[in-house]
Chain A
Amino acid sequence: MLRRLVQVGVRELSRSQSTAAATEKWDLYAGVLVERLPVISKSLNPLEKQFQDMLWRVEYENSLKSNHELKHEREIVQAELIKQGKMQVDLEDSGAKQTAQDLKDAYIEELKKFQLADRTTPDDKANKTSSTDRCLEDTLYLLVQQKLGPQEHLILPQGKREEGESMRQTAERVLHEQCGQELQVLFYGNAPVGFHKYKYPSNQRTQSVGAKVFFYRASLRSGQVAEKVAKFEWLPKEALNGKLTNAAYSESVNKFLL
């Protein structure tokens, strides 16, 4: 409700403002930042580890003994008594009975048998940048090889807006065109998260001066970029900055990276 009121207010306010400029014509582009969210939690740094150990110690100190521990203690006392000959050994009972220690050993054995999945994957070792099954702790971003002017660049997937489209629709279409139909993503809202503009070389500024790129954020749900459609890489933030050759573009993109 409030949002709608604000929107109406904004609309009326804007009518007087907009279309004042626009003497130069710019091409509108939509770019998509596709991110593969972290699959596993971050490894703890030394301080975090230390603090966690302390919390666990405090937890142990404040805890009360469990039934299992009590049983174990009772059995130790009993064994001691039997050794000293103060108590009769119950022959029928002792053979079949499982002591607390036996149970504990069995539990530990069972736990040892279970193999947890590794936090690093084969793709990590092979450094296969086209795979999303690597760098599980970090967010991965998608870069696609694209032709801008005469040269190929490794940038976020982007494409020109067509008449009658909203920017969000452009972003969705562009992603489909560049990455194939298999890639399933979730767009975060209708609003762009970032912006970058660049001018065309002076000999190509016949119709428009340059391009304004509006970036949308989307998270990967399933699927993968079609191999034959484009050359692509999934990179964590640091590697991404290494790959973006254009300093201005890199700066614009970094503004909306987490």
Chain B
Amino acid sequence: MSLLAAFARLGLQRSGGVTGAVAARCLHISPVLCAEPLKKKKKLDPQIVKQREDRKKKKIEKQIRRLEKNARQLKPVEELEVPLDLIDDKDKRQRKLNPLGSAELEERALLKKQWAHYKHDERVADFQIIDRLVQAQNKALAELRRESEELYQAAIEVDLQLLPVAVKGPVATPPIKNYASPDGDYLHQSMKWEVK
């Protein structure tokens, strides 16, 4: 009988209005989910999957074949190619000078011969200097060895501090002291290359 009474009360409460709704709002039965259930994975036909993979493979193989075929063909360097407009108006750019006279040609030939002799002599003199230096060093080393073998061994050690060598060559005019270089515009001229 008591069960019946309880049901009767429940029925009463449901129809009870405001108080019943408040009680129901505070009641949680399932845990709060901050995510939605995973989507069901589409099941693909294994044959289609295989077909796709095959197609991919074929595509790559084709690319490889094409690359191998063109392996010997080098990619042109654009900067090294003469621009077409320069080739087109080459005639326009030619200097129209009078041909050299025979006297002038003769003079130039003589000067070249003289120059060859001069450079030859210079070279011979250079070799003589090198010989002299090597001789002087050999003599010094031989003398050092006569004095002490240890010192000689220390002297023929390789000096690794000399590497890497940095040499600043002579210039045409000496650097200006306290020179403040003016700021110029910075133009970046090298081209950008993109992998296609």
Chain A interface residues (CB < 8 Å from chain B) = 3, 7, 10-11, 14-15, 17-19, 21-22, 26, 28, 37-42, 47, 50-51, 54, 60-61, 63-65, 70, 115-119, 121, 136, 166-168, 186-195, 197, 212, 214-215, 255-256, 258
Query: For this complex, into which size category does the number of interface residues on chain B fall?
Result: 35 or more
Return A53 CB to nearest CB of chain B, in Å.
10
Chain A neighbourhood of B155, CB < 8 A: 166-168, 190-192
A-B contact pairs, 29 of them (CB 8 A): A14-B145, A15-B149, A22-B147, A40-B170, A40-B171, A40-B172, A40-B174, A50-B111, A51-B111, A54-B108, A63-B95, A64-B90, A64-B93, A65-B93, A65-B95, A70-B92, A117-B173, A166-B155, A167-B144, A187-B159, A190-B155, A190-B159, A191-B140, A192-B155, A195-B140, A215-B140, A255-B132, A256-B132, A256-B137
Q: How far, in whole Å, are A54 and B109 apart by their CA atoms in the complex?
A: 11
- Let me know if B143 is at the binding interface, CB within 8 A: yes
* Residues of chain B contacted by A21 (CB below 8 angstroms): 146
Give every chain A residue within 8 A of B146 (Cβ-Cβ).
18, 21-22
Chain B nearest Cβ from A105, distance in angstroms = 21
Q: How distant is B60 from chain A, measured CB to nearest CB, in Å?
A: 46
Q: Is the interface of B mostly helix, strand, loop or mixed?
A: helix
Q: In chain B between 146 and 172, which residues have their CB closer than 8 angstroms to a CB of chain A?
A: 146-149, 151-159, 162, 170-172
Bound Cα distance A119, B133 (Å): 30
A188 touches B174 (CB 8 A): no
**B129 interface residue (CB < 8 Å to A):** yes
Whether A18 contacts B136 by the Cβ 8 Å rule is no
CB neighbours of B97 from chain A (8 A) = 61
Contact B143 A214 (CB under 8 A): yes
Q: How far is the CA of A189 from the CA of B152 in the complex (A)?
A: 13
Count CB-based A-B contacts (< 8 Å). Answer: 132
**Does B46 sit within 8 A of A, measured CB to CB?**
no
> Does the CB pair B136–A256 fall under 8 Å?
yes
Whether a CB of chain A sits under 8 angstroms from the CB of B193 is no
Residues on the B chain within 8 Å of A61, using CB: 95, 97
Give which listed residue, B140, B157, B158, contacts A193 with CB less than 8 A: B140
A37–B94 CA distance with the chains assembled, in angstroms: 45
**Beyond A18-B148, A60-B95, A116-B176, 5 additional pairs, beta carbon < 8 A:** A39-B171, A65-B95, A167-B151, A212-B143, A215-B140
A119 proximity list for chain B (CB < 8 A):
173-174
Distance of A42 Cα from B170 Cα, bound (Å): 9
CB distance from B133 to the nearest CB of A (A): 6
